Structure 1
């Protein structure tokens, strides 16, 4: 406006001064002065109607005169007074008379990486439908920021469409853009999405209701049945409620001051250190959120997250206390492995209703020795065990002695059997020798019989034997005449003679 006024003053000066000076100013100078003043005034006037928009800016036009805007409308679309929907692109723009238009430039909106632009419109073609809190999503965010198009099709109010990282030219009189962080799902977690906007899922037969909350396919209103895996997502942070759920193993330690106190059937009370390992899979995460909301939130501010406070701890306490009620203290200590197995099976069954799984329940320590009564019980049990061991040792020694005696007896029996076997062998040998003697005697008898037959009878044989015995004692000095006999000697004498000669020959 100032430039426009200066232009008008310049034009006035160019016209008035030549008249006031009259003849004092040469005619040519007058013409030149008027032309110069007119050109300057024209330039100033035209300049006052121009606006230059930088490359990273948009031009906003406000009409000062015209027909009034319809009631409830704040953005003009048909030349009405007030902010115009159309924005001026980069470059020079003219003939925006300063008394008719007010021109402003605004910087483009830049959405940094890792963020989204949340858009709210101050005006629109129509209000939000009843029951809706966000306008229907636009297919192209640039079309949404086209103010002229938006004022024909868009809904007034919060927009479900978000701006992804980049630079956008927009009309700040129509749109309010707020930069917010994009959704980033870290490794080891998934994002369960509860959509408060979007299309409604009509196939009621396929909807799972958990705590009255529908579990629906991705993109529909409700809890999406598929959680988002680790990545970055450009979702409206107000339209979509995000619950990050840890999918890695969760280990809960109930030790020392947090130990689980149990009471056995014989009224002994002592702490048990327990460790449990549980896991929520990506597939089960939506159902866990539907039942427990955020399982990792410390809603009661007591140091326990929801999953532990409402599911894990009450369940594990009940399991171990129930196990203790049916066992005595010593039995409870002795059956530690059975208790672990039973607790794991029961725990897994209880968690299944929450769509949570377990890798196991582990008994780290049974603190029966931490109480005076427990120490006395263990001392008594130790004495019993020592006595039992001594009895068992005595029985083992007694058994060893019996076995040793049996071994000695068996050895002696074996030796007796050996002696008997040797005696039997000797008897057999004696019998065999006797038989041999008999056989030898029989052989000799047969030999004597043959000799008797050869000598002509028993008498001659007897004589022969007698002579043999005599010869064994004879010194060789018997007169030969006793042996020769006369010519009329009998045959026996002849035999005797022959025998004596033979004996003499054998003697020599």
Structure 2
């Protein structure tokens, strides 16, 4: 029994040892196996049995004690337990629209004057830390960046910060400032352009090709860029947008110095409307105001290189011309100045030298004018003076819309006179440059020439005549003023169309006196006219009476004509009747003669047969029976034969001779007793 007990104790002790050994073996196996997931990496730390890291190093290489530069990727890995330990970490993922900025915590030192570490090859986007360190990688911010993707990077060796990609929106430009590179050349404001940096996305090429530190002359156009924002600082600025009816005036901040006596820089070609600043400088562009302008549109211009100001386009309306004064071009020769000056009416040789009109291409007032239209002019180089070529009216009156008050003059007899005047002038297009040479502008012409001239002219004219005569001789005074204005304005190459007196205002007391005088004169004239009117009225009444009798006169005249015509008719009829009667008479006479002859012969025979007395009795009886002989009286007066009987006989005879008809019933015949 005792033996069995000892044997059991021995077996139990041996089993415990085996169990302990087994457990220890399991622990060793667990410590030596590292399983890394599909989205993980394992950081390795060597704790024992290795070389000591060099001074200043913080990440160990393969045989050195410390956190290792290398990492373990996804899968199962075996490590010597108690010598190595592993710590898992997730992949670094760079999403779309992002970039990864790298800073190494270990490596060689960055050389003095440099901010970024040099670029090392072969480290597979910083995923192989040992190669990075073996190939001379430097501690500090790295030039290379990580584009979108997943990376197995040792977070102990490399610190990765995620930043947004640089996005330049439409209508904007990206202005770049480099934090590293060589110095900018003396006298320059912007760093020189270098090739092959691919819009600053390749920082290595930028530095390798001589990129300079500071603001860059190149810009970024609208788009998305993967740029190391630790190396390049990018700010956005609006593009230069020139609106319709506007013009862009450009001033360069860098370039060659502007030549002496030049106000505007000479134009250079090939800079694509100032969008290629590098070409501008290579072409010899000068700093200062530029001759070229920007027309309406959008321009991606570096605001660090060029300032753009906006101005209105020069608009020349119908009935206008633009006289252009050029600040650029060749200087006219003395001979040209003398020739051009002599062509100006009234200009001396010296005036011609100071104010002259030149052909195109020379500095000064341009001989050729610009007609109606829109012009994109650089007003720093070309100053347009808009001149109206239609009639220009200047008024002196009380209206609020006019520039000048009525003229106030004093007559010869001391009365103040107010004169409203209207002057119409015109500038011919071919004379406009010479007018500008003389006075500069229409406003100057009106203020400094026409107004003083008209005021002086009417003052002088009023001082030579009385107030009333000035008013009464208005037409003559107007003609004098117009003649003088025309002669004076010809000296300024201006045509005077007319000078009109619109109104003359005399003092009220003078007008009252004149009014009374005129009224008296008018009354006298009125009375005279009324007298004439009465005389005329008399004549008119006579004429009217004559006119009223005119119908009777006409009828009388017609009656006379009718009577005359009837007379002629009657005469003619009478002559016809007479001729007819004559012929008839002759016929009747012959008939009677024949009858008479026959009768006579009959009577003769009767006489012979019965005697003359019997023939008379027979003929008397025939006549009585035919009623040719009255045997009874028309009036019979019977009396006793006294004096009354004689009187009655006489009266009866008179009545019978007069042809008066007597009613026998009304007559009472009284016979004597």
**Fold match by TM threshold 0.5:** yes
| Contact in 1 for aligned 2:415/2:467 (Cα 8 Å) | yes
Partner of 2:174: 56
| 1:93 CA drift (Å) | 2.5
Distance of aligned partners of 1:161 and 1:87 in 2 relative to their CA distance in 1, 3 Å threshold: farther
1:42 is aligned to 2:174 = no
SS of structure 1 residue aligned to 2:520: helix
Could you state the TM-score of these two structures normalised by the residue count of structure 2? 0.50
Partner of 2:187: 74
Mapping 1:84-483, distance limit 5 Å: 84-86=191-193, 90-91=199-200, 92-94=202-204, 96=207, 102-105=213-216, 110-113=239-242, 114-120=246-252, 122-124=254-256, 131-142=261-272, 154=284, 157-164=287-294, 166-168=298-300, 172=304, 175=305, 177-186=306-315, 188=317, 191-200=322-331, 204=336, 208-209=340-341, 211=351, 212-224=354-366, 225-227=368-370, 229-235=372-378, 237-245=379-387, 250-256=392-398, 258-262=405-409, 269-280=416-427, 284-296=431-443, 306-320=444-458, 333=471, 347-348=485-486, 350-357=488-495, 360-368=498-506, 370-402=507-539, 404-405=541-542
Cα deviation 1:62-96 (Å, max 9, x = unaligned): 86579xx7xxx624xxxxxx965336772233263
**Distance in 1, Cα, partners of 2:66 & 2:562:** 181
| 1:394 CA drift (Å) | 1.9
Distance of aligned partners of 1:87 and 1:315 in 2 relative to their CA distance in 1, 3 Å threshold: farther
**Which has the higher mean CA deviation after the structures are superposed, 208-217 or 30-39?**
30-39
| Contact in 1 for aligned 2:323/2:369 (Cα 8 Å) | yes
| 1:499 CA drift (Å) | 1.6
Distance of aligned partners of 1:320 and 1:399 in 2 relative to their CA distance in 1, 3 Å threshold: farther
SS of structure 2 residue aligned to 1:286: helix
**Distance in 2, Cα, partners of 1:18 & 1:156:** 53
| 1:380 CA drift (Å) | 0.8
| Contact in 1 for aligned 2:268/2:285 (Cα 8 Å) | no
Cα deviation 1:174-203 (Å, max 9, x = unaligned): x5x333223423464654321111234679
| 1:506 CA drift (Å) | 0.5
**Which has the higher mean CA deviation after the structures are superposed, 390-399 or 208-217?**
208-217
Partner of 1:499: 619
**Which has the higher mean CA deviation after the structures are superposed, 18-27 or 147-156?**
18-27
| Contact in 2 for aligned 1:247/1:280 (Cα 8 Å) | yes
SS of structure 2 residue aligned to 1:85: coil
Structure with greater Cα Rg: 2
SS of structure 1 residue aligned to 2:213: strand
Counting matched residue pairs gives 437
SS of structure 1 residue aligned to 2:137: helix
Could you state the TM-score of these two structures normalised by the residue count of structure 1? 0.63
Distance of aligned partners of 1:332 and 1:132 in 2 relative to their CA distance in 1, 3 Å threshold: same
SS of structure 1 residue aligned to 2:441: coil
> Greater helix percent: which structure?
1
Distance of aligned partners of 1:167 and 1:105 in 2 relative to their CA distance in 1, 3 Å threshold: same
SS of structure 2 residue aligned to 1:136: coil
Cα deviation 1:113-167 (Å, max 9, x = unaligned): 135243346553xx65564444322234449786666666526553543452644
**Which has the higher mean CA deviation after the structures are superposed, 243-252 or 52-61?**
52-61
**Distance in 1, Cα, partners of 2:212 & 2:608:** 206
| 1:294 CA drift (Å) | 3.2
| Contact in 1 for aligned 2:474/2:501 (Cα 8 Å) | yes
Unaligned runs of 5+ in 2: 1-51, 72-105, 108-127, 146-164, 220-236, 345-350, 399-403, 601-605, 629-673
**Distance in 1, Cα, partners of 2:555 & 2:301:** 120
**Distance in 1, Cα, partners of 2:458 & 2:591:** 114
Distance of aligned partners of 1:226 and 1:408 in 2 relative to their CA distance in 1, 3 Å threshold: same
Distance of aligned partners of 1:291 and 1:14 in 2 relative to their CA distance in 1, 3 Å threshold: farther
